[in-house]
Amino acid sequence: MKTVATYSRKGGTGKSTISFILACFASAAGHRVLLVAMDPQGDGPRWASGGDRKLMEGDYFESPLGFTVLFSPRYMPELDTTDWDLVVIDMPPEVETVSQVNPNLWLTPLDGRDAVLDTMPVIPQMIASGAQVLFVMNKVDTAGKRVMETLHEGMESISERHEQVFFWSDELPVAGSIARVPSYFQPPWKVPFGKGTKGANSSLDLCTSVMGMLELRS
Ligand SMILES: Nc1ncnc2c1ncn2[C@@H]1O[C@H](COP(=O)(O)OP(=O)(O)OP(=O)(O)O)[C@@H](O)[C@H]1O
Ligand SMILES: [Mg+2]
């Protein structure tokens, strides 16, 4: 069983979106996938259910998209490691939740300067856990080009100093945005992997990279 925890200490950076797309991608590749939503908003479970499910704490169900979903706000339960090839944990921004999970890979979307500054204090804890860490610049179209270049350099210098830390981006100023096309995300569960847009291709590339880091076939 491999575990990915999607975490950043700022809201709205794309944690749920990336977790959801990764769960779709991995199950489409034939893996047994569990998406755990520790995020109390339950966006992932709602999208996975087709958008209209009334969520209750502890909800556990099969998504028509091919993976299993657990809605477990702020709480990470013990799992039977033989049941799953991949567990994707969509985390809330609260720092207290970080110590509950022990992933193989921290996947950290950052949408600009505030996200980097807010998340920075938690990064040593992530690195010290021995897990891989992947920073993903996401939704950066709204940030200034110069700001993004500076962040890009800062994140790259962290990844140069720590061999298990990686930085994922395409080219500035899009800088690895997993998608720029609003219709692709409205609602995301309808077209998880629509081809033909730069964003969609880019999110496929991200999922492929993550699967490679976890040594799972994609
Ligand atoms: N690459 C992207 N391009 C455009 N919009 C995006 C992208 N990634 C996410 N979004 C949009 O940004 C919003 C926030 O994304 P999401 O809900 O995944 O963030 P989050 O980090 O899970 O937020 P929260 O902290 O509230 O749980 C959503 O409306 C989503 O559709
Ligand atoms: Mg979320």
Residue 15 is part of a domain; what is its CATH number?
Answer: 3.40.50.300
Residue 218 is assigned to a structural domain of this protein: no
Answer yes or no: is pLDDT of 21 > 80: yes
**Ligand 1 test: best mutation among 17, 148, 201, most atoms within 8 Å of CB?**
17
Q: To test the ligand 1 pocket, which listed residue (16, 110, 189) has its Cβ within 8 A of the most ligand atoms? A: 16
Distance of CA 30 to the CA centre of its chain: 19
Ligand 1 atom closest to the Cα of residue 8 is: 21
| Ligand positioned closest to the Cα atom of 18 | 1
> For residue 179, which atom of ligand 1 is closest to its CA?
1
Confirm whether 60 is domain-assigned: yes
Helix (H) or strand (E) holding 129: none
Q: Answer whether residue 83 is part of any domain.
A: yes
Instruction: For residue 149, give the nearest of 173, 170, 167, 168 by alpha carbon.
Output: 173
Q: Residue 53 falls within a domain, yes or no? A: yes
Q: Kindly report the pTM of this predicted structure.
A: 0.89
- The number of domains in the chain is 1
What range defines the domain where residue 149 resides? 2-213
Is 203's C-beta closer than 6 angstroms to any atom of ligand 1? no
Burial class (CB in 10 A: 0-12, 13-18, 19+), 73: middle
Q: Between these two residues, 201 and 172, which has the higher pLDDT value?
A: 201
Confidence of residue 58 (pLDDT cuts 50, 70, 90): very high
Rounded to whole angstroms, the Cα distance separating 121 from 9 reads 9
What lies within 8 Å, CB to CB, of 76 at 6+ separation is 36, 38, 89, 97, 100, 101
Interval 93-137: pLDDT, tens: 999 999 999 999 999 988 888 998 999 999 999 999 999 999 888
Nearest CA, atom 16, ligand 1: 14
Structure confidence at residue 82 (pLDDT): 94
Q: Tell whether 31 is covered by a domain.
A: yes
